[in-house]
Amino acid sequence: MRLEFCSKKSSNNHHQGRVLVHQRAGVQMPDHFDRLPNSVVLLIFNKLGDIKALGRCAAVSKRFNGLVPQVEEVVVKVDCVISGEDSAGGLGGRSRSIFGHLFRFVVGSIVKPLQALQQILGPKRVVLAEVSHHSPGEVLKNFKEIQNLRIELPGGELGIENGVLLRWKAEFGSTLESCVILGATSYFRGGGDKITGKEEDALCQDNHNHNRELSNSQDDSGSIPESFYTNGGLKLRVVWTISSLIAASARHYLLQQIISDHPTLQSLVLTDADGQGMLCMGKEQLREFRDKPLAASATANRTQVPALNMKLWYAPYLDLPAGAGMEGATLVAIRPSDRPIRKETEAFVAAAFDEPFGEAAKAMVKRRTYLLEMNSF
Amino acid sequence: MAEDPTAAMAKECKVRLKISDDTIFEVEYAVAMQSQMLKNALSDTGTDGTVPLHNISSEIMAKVVEYCAYHVNAANTISEKDVKIWDQEFLKDLDQATLFNLIMATQYMVIHNLQDLICQTVADRIKDKSAEEVREIFNIQNDLTPEEEEEIRHENQWAFEEEGWPEIQEEVRLEG
């Protein structure tokens, strides 16, 4: 269940239970840290970032112990996310939360009506993020000077099928300020780097080439095909959008205590090891959060999502660098209805993702824009 | 129209640096400007004469100049990926004494990018080590009393739990 730091096992065995007596025959080796001023030792600690490593440094010497709490840049890698409820079937304690299981169920089957989503989310679920059985808040307790905090969940909450792509990036103050979502029914890398199983590859590549030829021969203005509305394509995109917003607002909700405990915070990022979702809060947004507490949603432990305006772009097929490609690519840019329109939508959307998805986003915003609205939930 | 004086200087001027054993290093103006300290020193006095850097040895100065000479041009002409590869090659096989000497030199000469690089390297050597290993690698004296150390380990137990990892895993399994 706790998956991090397995590499430490081998080096730890012979240290277990004893304090090494630190002595060398003959020449006494110099302690180079002695020569460094505190500001430089802090620079090294700030580069170290990982909170467990910092916690261990605090036990090295008096000086280190005094400096560790002054670190400004911290990264907390969460080992596991478990449900707070005892759940039947042993779902608790897995490395993916209950959320992940539910969404795997919903997103995989296209035909599920949207109402089912709300029903499934109805009962109260507590999602706890843990670092070796301690909450991130507890682990951060002694770090009073943190300015830049990054928390990394072990995986994305949204369980998706192999080959499907779903990524989101959201910014929050007290409430959602913006969200960009990129999804594709199929994403494959070029060359030897395949996502699906080996035997399927040859077949897949043939299919992709075939689809690429098809789409090239059709009108490629970015219009969503009529079939989209009937074959579940639109429903799937709506489910992607809602799932991403729920995941984002649940993460936002988790952060309340940490934000109030650390008034020195200037930037906060909550991401996951899969690179699926990234929640960001900057200096102004954190200030707003402290002044104006969030509104919790009625049903689940997450922040209320306000009424939204959305722009959607679609591409049946997208060529990416190095032979990679996407099918059924969908890009959604979301903002609350009551916020002014961002003038630089294109730049904002393109900057949301790392490569190669940044390139994909840039290509997609040039296509036909669809406008959607969503109620608060 | 006269050419921009700074650009002209950058092409032609050499800066003379006198180091600990009285050797003189001659470096191009643009390379020297990578050091904030030299930049300030030279803006007042000009490039005639020699800047004394008594606390830096020949070996360390050579490494600093090597790094700065590469990075003067790198920003505009070389891809980020290739710069990183060069940096790793630069760091290869540097022993601890050299690393820390470089940190002190960059601190004195105020060369942020090189200092960041070396500090990151030291941090990487600390990252996955236990407290005892850190002490051993860096020869740090443990001046904590056993009680003090125990208290810190208890306070930060989440950082140390892996050291008893096999046992704890058993407990978790029993609890289901």
Interval A36-75: pLDDT, tens? 999 999 999 999 999 999 999 999 999 999 999 999 999 9
Query: Is this structure's pTM higher than 0.90?
Result: no
What is the C-alpha separation between B93 and B116, in angstroms, rounded? 18
B94 touches chain A (CB under 8 A): no
User: First and final CA of chain A: distance in angstroms?
Assistant: 33
ipTM of the complex: 0.85
Task: Assess contact for A77 and A50: CB atoms under 8 A.
Answer: yes
- Say if residue B119's pLDDT is above 90: yes
Rg of chain A over Cα atoms, rounded to whole angstroms, equals: 24
The confidence score (pLDDT) of residue A60 equals 95
DSSP category for residue B163:
G
Between residues 267 and 326 of chain A, which touch chain B (CB distance below 8 Å)? Answer: none
Chain A hits for B172, Cβ within 8 Å: 1, 93
Phi, psi of A151 (to 5 degrees): -115, 135
Residues of chain A under the 70 pLDDT cut: 1-28, 82-129, 191-222, 300, 341-346
Element (H, E) at A171: strand A165-172
**Yes or no, beta carbons of B127 and A132 under 8 Å apart:** no
Regarding predicted confidence, which is higher, B12 or A296?
A: A296
Q: Cα dist. A107→A99, A164, B20 in Å?
A: 12, 10, 68
pLDDT over 70 at B103, yes or no: yes
A83 min Cα distance to partner chain B (Å): 13
Q: Is A78 on the interface with B (CB under 8 A)?
A: no
Is the CB of B131 less than 8 angstroms away from the CB of A1? no
CB contact under 8 A, A22 and B176: no
Q: Is B50 on the interface with A (CB under 8 A)?
A: no
Predicted confidence (pLDDT) at residue B9 exceeds the cutoff of 70: no
With beta carbons under 8 A apart, name residues in chain B contacting A31.
Answer: 138-141
Q: Read off the pLDDT band of B173 (50, 70, 90).
A: very low
8 A C-beta contact, residue A114 and residue A177: no
DSSP class of residue A21? P
Q: What is the reported pLDDT for A59?
A: 94
For A86, nearest residue in chain B (alpha carbons): B176
Q: What pLDDT does A293 receive?
A: 81
**Chain A residues lying within 8 Å of B142, measured CB to CB:** 19, 22, 60-61
* Alpha carbon of B116: minimum distance to chain A alpha carbons (Å): 8
**pLDDT number for residue A209:** 59
User: Closest Cα partner for A54 from A46, A62, B29, A113?
Assistant: A46
Selection from A153, A1, A5 nearest residue A77 by Cα: A153
Q: Does B104 touch chain A (CB under 8 A)?
A: yes
**B134 inside 8 A of chain A by CB:** yes
Of A22, A44, A64, the CB nearest to B123: A44
